[in-house]
Structure 1
Amino acid sequence: MINFKSAIAAACFTLFLAPTSYGQDLQIGSNLQGLLKLAKERNPDLASMSFDANAASERVIPAGSLPDPKFRTEWRDITRMGEQGPTLSPSRVGSTRYLLMQDLPWFGKRELKRETAEALSEAAKVRVTSTWLELASKIKTTYAQLYYLDQSERLTQEILDLMVRLEKVAQVRYASGLAAQQDVIRSQVEQTAIRSELIFIESERRQLQARLNALTGRQADEPLARPTQIRSLPTPEVLNFSALEQRVRSNNPLLQVEGAQIKAAEKTRELAYKNRFPDFTVGASPIQYGNSVREWELMVEINIPLQQGARRAQERESDAMLSASRSRREAINNQVLADLYENVTGFESERRSLTLTTESLLPQSELNFRSALAGYESGKVDFATLLDAQKQIRQAKLNQVKAGINAQMRLADIERIVGEEL
């Protein structure tokens, strides 16, 4: 009986907690910051780049370390001039030589290898930042598209409600003999077209939600809350191209990666020229006779750099790789600044279009529609004129939504290029 009561209590406790957890899950997608935080924790591409960066950082210590020493043992005269059977006992062979050797690179080579590994490690770390900025830009863009898709759906539903009211007006006028039946039919045709558009919007929303789920490391069909707010657009003073240009030169991850690659190429070239000098191997060797060590030997081995043709080719290769890195950085710098200028000018254009539509075009279209509606009700204008006025309102609101989406997308691209949020 006690176990039965405990089971009931546990079940009630679970049911009590379930709505809270479910409510928290439903909040995913309602705001941009929550999505960005989730993506930083769960996106597999970002995690992969982080692991690569950790692996690159672990290569620094081995690159600057000495190679492992070598130990050699030699059993000499294992038959004692034929006096005994073969043996490997050090006390019974003619002599036993022990040799401990250590390879020593030419002065400065280890430091150059370590500095090259450090530069490559820095490049890998910056690639993590670059991956995150790309990911964040995609999330911001998709979130903005979802937000404005909701606005578009709300707008379309308002237009549908309006067309239903217009159909009733047309029916009243038709019943009174003041309008043709064609007015009623046209309003019904418009409603069907609008309902078809709502179906398309719903399909588009599901696709965007699946894309957003993939970016945040979730299952494609997991539910997402509807976006509740959108970021405010920065002022023109914030998006000044000259000021942003300086921030791009210091913060853009692509330029930082190429800077690290140039440093690594410089160190690689220095190492190639260092290879003109030989490496050494030093060793110490005690020699055992019977049960005691009676002799000591020291050895120095040096490799002779005779293959000068191969070394000159390696030097030319390193020079070419350095020149390629510098040219690549210059090309990326030019492209990044061109993209920045394009997005800044595009953002300003969309912002001005949004302001013009909101403050001028939309109020004028609404005024024109009200005038046309009053004229139709009084018989001064025909139904086609009223539909044209309704379509003008719809187009103005769609332009408003489109300008808002484009402005948010431009802003996301600018922040990706600059390397930080504005």
Structure 2
Amino acid sequence: MVTMRQALSLGVACLSLALGSVSYGQEAPLGASLEGLLKSAKDNNPEFASMRFDAAAATERVVSASALPDPKFRTEWRDITRMGEQSPTLLPGRVGSTRYLLMQDLPWAGKRDLKREVAESQADAARGRAAGSWSELAAKIKTTYAQLYYLDQSELLAREILDLMIRLEQVAQVRYAGGLTAQQDVIRAQLEQTAMRNELITIETERRQLRARLNALVGRPSNEPLATPVQLRPLPTPESVSFAALEPRARSSSPLLKTEISQIRTAEKNRELTYKNRYPDFSVGVSPIQYGSAVREWELMVEINIPLQQHARRAQERESEAMLASAQSRQEGVTNQVLADLYEGVAGLEAARSSLKLTTESMLPQAELTYRSALAGYEAGKVDFATLLDAQKQIRQAKLNQVKAGVSAQMRLADIERIVGDDL
């Protein structure tokens, strides 16, 4: 028999299990975390999907590039009137003879391997372009997410200041009623409230625009709802994002550089293939000949094309050399630009990190101390209302600078990850 205590324990366990399964099955709403947005974009963004399909198509071309051409079959009906003894016919047993020819084209040795290598390099380049497309898309999502976070924090701060202005207006009204201050203080507080409400309208407009942009990047309709960003990503250590640490990684992993290297390999293999065209291709075949109802003769054939148009071939060879030189020069230019962008991004991240530290550890505490002192002085009648407003604006600007520096660091980090081609 089940006691009351056992029944209660069983009920609590079942309720805990049910609540646990519900919470486990729930996922964070889209927009709350950066990871969810990136995952959704990888699955749904049509531009990135197009690049992935292009890469898949280029990969499939590798197999066909080195395949032999399809064989050819030919049938010849000879003497279809039997020297004028019968009406024309195509029946093999009633014509003078029927010749069957099966032919296969064979390229010069090494050409098939070079064609396969060209296709493989082109597939690598297509995969590099797809990776570069994802890096660009991810950087845009990270940047837009950080900008949305900045707007949300700006709204919270604006509402905080609005509430503060309402309280200061009440203090000013009390002091004005007691003849301790002028009516101008009350009006100034009301004007500040109006400015804050107008700023909230501007923030909401910018937020709607950013949400529409973020929905488009993720691959959703622009009017779909998005959750409020919860928090920014933690910044990596300064040592891990130094230029010395990231330069080798950028040279080996940058999608732009990997694409250019694949283009160079393609140009090299195309040049080798062009020089191989100096040598002829072949066709071989076997041909049984039917007389009446029996095959009585067999023939073998070899066909060779003569590479006679040397001027055209020399022009093609010079073209392949120029294409290779162009790819090499382009790769050198892209390398210089990638490293320059990386250096700029690292410098910007270091500056944003320093600004964030300075604002958090120095400017914000000083502004808070100044504001508390000004508020106490205003309530005691020792400081005018303009001084109090200036102190309030200083603390608000310090908080905005703190958020702005954090967002700037996130945007610099996103740009560095775009260049490197991977998360840090």
Q: Common fold, TM-score beyond 0.5?
A: yes
Deviation at 1:134, TM superposition (A): 1.6
Other-structure match for 1:276: 278
Deviation at 1:24, TM superposition (A): 4.9
| Matched ranges for 1:68-87 at <5 A | 68-87=70-89
Task: Report the Cα distance in structure 2 between the residues aligned to 1:152 and 1:375, rounded to whole angstroms.
Answer: 28
Other-structure match for 2:152: 150
| Matched ranges for 1:82-231 at <5 A | 82-231=84-233
Report the 3-state secondary structure (helix = DSSP H, G, I; strand = E; otherwise coil) of the residue aligned with 1:171: helix
Closer, same or farther: CA 131–58 of 1 in aligned 2, 3 Å: same
Task: Report the Cα distance in structure 2 between the residues aligned to 1:59 and 1:292, rounded to whole angstroms.
Answer: 44
Other-structure match for 1:334: 336
- Per mean C-alpha deviation after superposition, the further-off stretch among 317-326 and 137-146 is 137-146
The Cα offsets for residues 221-258 of structure 1, whole Å up to 9 and x where unpaired, read as 11111111211112211111111101111111111111
Report the 3-state secondary structure (helix = DSSP H, G, I; strand = E; otherwise coil) of the residue aligned with 1:312: helix
- Asked if the contact 2:288–2:297 (Cα under 8 Å) also holds between the matched residues in 1, the reply is yes
Task: Report the Cα distance in structure 1 between the residues aligned to 2:221 and 2:251, rounded to whole angstroms.
Answer: 38
Deviation at 1:338, TM superposition (A): 0.4
Report the 3-state secondary structure (helix = DSSP H, G, I; strand = E; otherwise coil) of the residue aligned with 1:354: helix
Report the 3-state secondary structure (helix = DSSP H, G, I; strand = E; otherwise coil) of the residue aligned with 2:354: helix
Deviation at 1:111, TM superposition (A): 0.6
The one-letter amino acid of 1:367's match is L
Report the 3-state secondary structure (helix = DSSP H, G, I; strand = E; otherwise coil) of the residue aligned with 1:237: helix
Other-structure match for 1:239: 241
Task: Report the Cα distance in structure 1 between the residues aligned to 2:339 and 2:74, rounded to whole angstroms.
Answer: 60
Match for residue 324 of structure 2 among 297, 322, 325: 322
Other-structure match for 1:41: 43
**What TM-score results when the alignment is normalised by the length of structure 1?**
0.92
- Per mean C-alpha deviation after superposition, the further-off stretch among 206-215 and 269-278 is 206-215
The one-letter amino acid of 1:122's match is D
Task: Report the Cα distance in structure 2 between the residues aligned to 1:354 and 1:175, rounded to whole angstroms.
Answer: 43
The Cα offsets for residues 25-71 of structure 1, whole Å up to 9 and x where unpaired, read as 77211111121122222221221111111111110111101100111
Match for residue 253 of structure 1 among 247, 255, 264: 255
Match for residue 312 of structure 2 among 299, 310, 313: 310
The one-letter amino acid of 2:422's match is E
The Cα offsets for residues 233-288 of structure 1, whole Å up to 9 and x where unpaired, read as 12211111111101111111111111111111100000000101111111111111
The Cα offsets for residues 139-159 of structure 1, whole Å up to 9 and x where unpaired, read as 111111112211111111111
The Cα offsets for residues 283-311 of structure 1, whole Å up to 9 and x where unpaired, read as 11111111111221111111111111111
Deviation at 1:387, TM superposition (A): 1.3
| Matched ranges for 1:367-406 at <5 A | 367-406=369-408
Task: Report the Cα distance in structure 2 between the residues aligned to 1:113 and 1:397, rounded to whole angstroms.
Answer: 61
Q: Which runs of 5+ in 2 are unaligned?
A: 1-21
Q: How many residues get paired?
A: 403
Report the 3-state secondary structure (helix = DSSP H, G, I; strand = E; otherwise coil) of the residue aligned with 2:238: coil
The one-letter amino acid of 1:214's match is A
Task: Report the Cα distance in structure 2 between the residues aligned to 1:312 and 1:188, rounded to whole angstroms.
Answer: 83
Task: Report the Cα distance in structure 1 between the residues aligned to 2:298 and 2:72, rounded to whole angstroms.
Answer: 17
The one-letter amino acid of 1:237's match is E
- Asked if the contact 1:69–1:103 (Cα under 8 Å) also holds between the matched residues in 2, the reply is yes
**What TM-score results when the alignment is normalised by the length of structure 2?**
0.92
Superposed CA RMSD in Å reads 1.6
Q: Structure 1 runs of 4+ off > 3 angstroms?
A: 23-26
- Asked if the contact 2:239–2:245 (Cα under 8 Å) also holds between the matched residues in 1, the reply is no
- Asked if the contact 1:26–1:223 (Cα under 8 Å) also holds between the matched residues in 2, the reply is no
Q: Which runs of 5+ in 1 are unaligned?
A: 1-19
Match for residue 31 of structure 2 among 15, 29, 38: 29
